[in-house]
Chain A
Amino acid sequence: GQQLNQSPQSMFIQEGEDVSMNCTSSSIFNTWLWYKQDPGEGPVLLIALYKAGELTSNGRLTAQFGITRKDSFLNISASIPSDVGIYFCAGQLLAGANSKLTFGKGITLSVRP
């Protein structure tokens, strides 16, 4: 089946630093999504990407949909303590609400003050 690869499993950065996370797949996805999960909560959608090559920003977050449609990255600039959490990438084969998501294993981000 389809799999999304996220590594490393954990990242440790200093407050104020930028961080980049990558997500790759052996197969094509037509929509890429980035979620953040805080402890005891469900994942919250950060950014959705619908077009190959698309670069989208949401505040300090920037994400890009790879041209090959097999990868995406998420950048967080000027990190702050509340950026701590688990970041999941997710791919969707068909756009819209009727196609299931495939999730990566997630990256746990720690921010040192």
Chain B
Amino acid sequence: SAVISQKPSRDICQRGTSLTIQCQVDSQVTMMFWYRQQPGQSLTLIATANQGSEATYESGFVIDKFPISRPNLTFSTLTVSNMSPEDSSIYLCSVGQVTGYTFGSGTRLTVV
């Protein structure tokens, strides 16, 4: 299965600032996804990162808050904009493959 490198692994940010999370895959993949996992909770899909076009956002998530880039088939970024303490979560990149979905190790974000 694909190997995913996600950076940074953790960060502490001031409210009102933005953080960009990077996801690098060691092979070309069609489908890349971004998830949020709030403390003690399950994974919630934020959006599907589409190569060459705008991301597809799930209900409750908007592009202005979570802009996503997907310049090629091995890389994507998620930006958490104008952060507030409620954005403190683990953000996970995932790729879809025939054998199942593989996840990165996540970015643990704390907003103070």
User: With the chains together, A44 CA to B99 CA distance in Å?
Assistant: 12
Inter-chain contact B43/A88, CB cutoff 8 Å: yes
A54–B44 CA distance with the chains assembled, in angstroms: 27
Closest A residue by C-beta to B93: A42
Q: Which of A24-61 contact B (CB under 8 A)?
A: 33, 35, 40-45, 48
With the chains together, A43 CA to B103 CA distance in Å?
Answer: 6
Please state if B42 and A97 are interface contacts (CB–CB under 8 Å).
no
| A98-B96, A105-B42 given; A42·B31 CB < 8 A | no
Task: For A104, give the chain B residue with the smallest CB separation.
Answer: B42
Count of residues in A whose CB is under 8 Å from the partner chain? 22
12 residue pairs A–B, Cβ–Cβ below 8 Å: A42-B4, A42-B105, A45-B102, A97-B29, A97-B31, A97-B95, A97-B98, A98-B31, A100-B33, A100-B45, A101-B101, A103-B43
Interface residues of B (CB under 8 A from A): 1, 4, 6, 29-31, 33, 41-45, 48, 59, 92, 94-106, 108
User: A residues near B, CB below 8 A?
Assistant: 1, 33, 35, 40-45, 48, 88, 90, 96-101, 103-106
